[in-house]
Structure 1
Amino acid sequence: MNDPAGAVIGLDFDGTLSPIVPDPAAARIHPAAPEILARLSERVLCVVILTGRPPETVLSLGPGLAEVPGLVILGHYGFERWESGQLSAPPPPAGVPRAEAELPLLLRDLGLSGVVVEDKGRAVAVHTRRSPDPAKALETLRAPLRALAERNGLVVEPGRYVLELRPPGMDKGHALSLFLAERAARSAMFVGDDLGDLAAFEAVRVSGLPGVTVCSGSSEVSALAERADLVVDGPDGVITLLKELVSAVRR
């Protein structure tokens, strides 16, 4: 990295800084992540976590993150922002609670078991990882959830055994592009693991800046690895990469 003082390092949370687990509420950040992010933040322009989760949830699942100097968390794909202990966000969309209220009846009519509904405030996620056949349950849900989203002015964000209903108008690519411009970044790196991170990869590529895209690899998502400049072995590989980056910048 020739110009660390001008670099923005962007990272997803689930599957990147935190291992994927069957119960989203049981997720926890990699134990080495807060310390290495703190060291990295002292050497680059900014470290930003860009995630579909609310920032307050990320902070609760990532003890130590609030102490990372200059850290910014862009939650709900950029709709919410946490910085210097302050949270800013527009009013929540009315379509999300309406859609969530319809989900129990929809799941019952489809005869699906083991499907978990996660209330994310500005979005609602439907997880199939704990169902007897996660892939089949996911396919069964695609069309009904798309129709439910359309009725309530929402869009469907696909992921690793999850379909998320969220407001339109923002994605990780748009959020990252705005952030790079805001910080007058001179280079960028983004690390992600899921389909929602493809937009952030594209934002790095079209920014005109020197940039690197990194996939936190898994057997569940191949599309991201195919588009990445570098593939590492899950969250452990991400932490190893960040440690190497800190050492390289120090040198």
Structure 2
Amino acid sequence: MEFRSADAESRYREIVARAARTVVGLDFDGTLAPLVDDPERAHIHPGAAEVLADLATGVAAIAVITGRPARQVLALGGLEEVGDALAARGTTLHVFGQYGNERWSSTQRRIVSPRPPAGLASFERELPRTLRANDAAEAWVEDKGLAVAVHTRRMDDPDAAFERLLEPVRELAEENGLIVEPGRHVVEVRSAGMHKGLAVRRLVEETGAEGFVFGGDDLGDVEAFEALGALEDDGLAVLRLASASADGDNPLVPLADVVVDGPDGVLAFLARLAADARG
């Protein structure tokens, strides 16, 4: 674990002091689950359930805030069972799917979801032509219900394919009133108006949190980090945790208070927080 910001250690101590009134929010892919070539096989770290259950005894709530559909992350993470374990300790597990457009919790066990955004159907119809025109017909297109993700991870040169596709897909999205969320070898297309920062704000309002830790690993987590910066000005104790692979750059590192090495590092950090919160 590496303290990055000048006052990171004091931020951590303040979170520990307010642990019982602190919410811990976590991304899924690259944070709780190792990154893999096939996103449908991105199962939660085998040690996560135990660490989260231990953490639950010391914090106000735990949330998974992800770009994945809520139903998918519940299955890949075994999160219904994790929710049971947290409930036994008097703590709620919140799941925000598709950047906060979908919600599930261990106290209200149903997924609440809006209708798909206008323009998504026409975007999907036009997308194959865009892929062919940019030598990416073999890119994997994932229909998320409320969004569409174009993955280049399985292609021969994922980086080059991503660079070729980003702007054409962005243009097609904008023509249909949608926005893009670039990630690691993926371009996600969805409606505007919801992002992880808004999910963080909603959790703070609903729980009355006095502290918030958020851990993420990619561009889609930047809004959550930025939201914490604004909430800190209002008196919230905050800590921004970047899950950064040891073999590459990470856009969150310059914004982070603490940097760890992937899901293993995330769980080690959470285990330390759980221990320190107990005193």
TM-score by length of 1: 0.95
1:79 equivalenced with 2:101 (yes/no)? yes
**How far 1:215 sits from its partner (Å)?**
0.4
1:112-154 alpha-carbon deviations (Å, 9 max, x no partner): 2542111111111111111111111111111211111112211
List runs of 5+ in structure 2 lacking aligned partners.
1-15
1:104 equivalenced with 2:128 (yes/no)? yes
CA distance in 2, matches of 1:26, 1:104: 25
Q: Relative contact order: is structure 1 or structure 2 higher (C-alpha 8 Å, sep ≥ 6)?
A: 2
CA distance in 2, matches of 1:114, 1:201: 34
1:35: which partner in 2?
50
CA distance in 1, matches of 2:66, 2:29: 8
1:50-104 alpha-carbon deviations (Å, 9 max, x no partner): 1111111111101233423210001111111001212112222232232222222
1:216: which partner in 2?
243
1:213-235 alpha-carbon deviations (Å, 9 max, x no partner): 00001244422111100100000
2:4: which partner in 1?
none
**How far 1:47 sits from its partner (Å)?**
0.4
1:137: which partner in 2?
161
**Cα distance change of structure 1 residues 248 and 123 upon mapping to structure 2, 3 Å threshold:** same
Q: Which of 16, 27, 30 in structure 2 is aligned with 1:12?
A: 27
Count of matched residue pairs: 251
The code of the aligned residue for 1:62 comes to G
1:122: which partner in 2?
146
CA distance in 1, matches of 2:136, 2:115: 33
Pairs within 5 Å for 1:190-229:
190-208=214-232, 209-218=236-245, 219-229=247-257
Q: After TM superposition, what 4+ stretches of structure 1 lie above 3 angstroms from structure 2?
A: none
1:165 equivalenced with 2:166 (yes/no)? no
CA distance in 1, matches of 2:182, 2:225: 16
Contact 1:127–1:161 (Cα < 8 Å) also in 2: yes
SS in 1 for 2:252: helix
The code of the aligned residue for 1:124 comes to V
The code of the aligned residue for 2:243 comes to S
Contact 1:8–1:189 (Cα < 8 Å) also in 2: yes
List runs of 5+ in structure 1 lacking aligned partners.
none
The code of the aligned residue for 1:189 comes to V
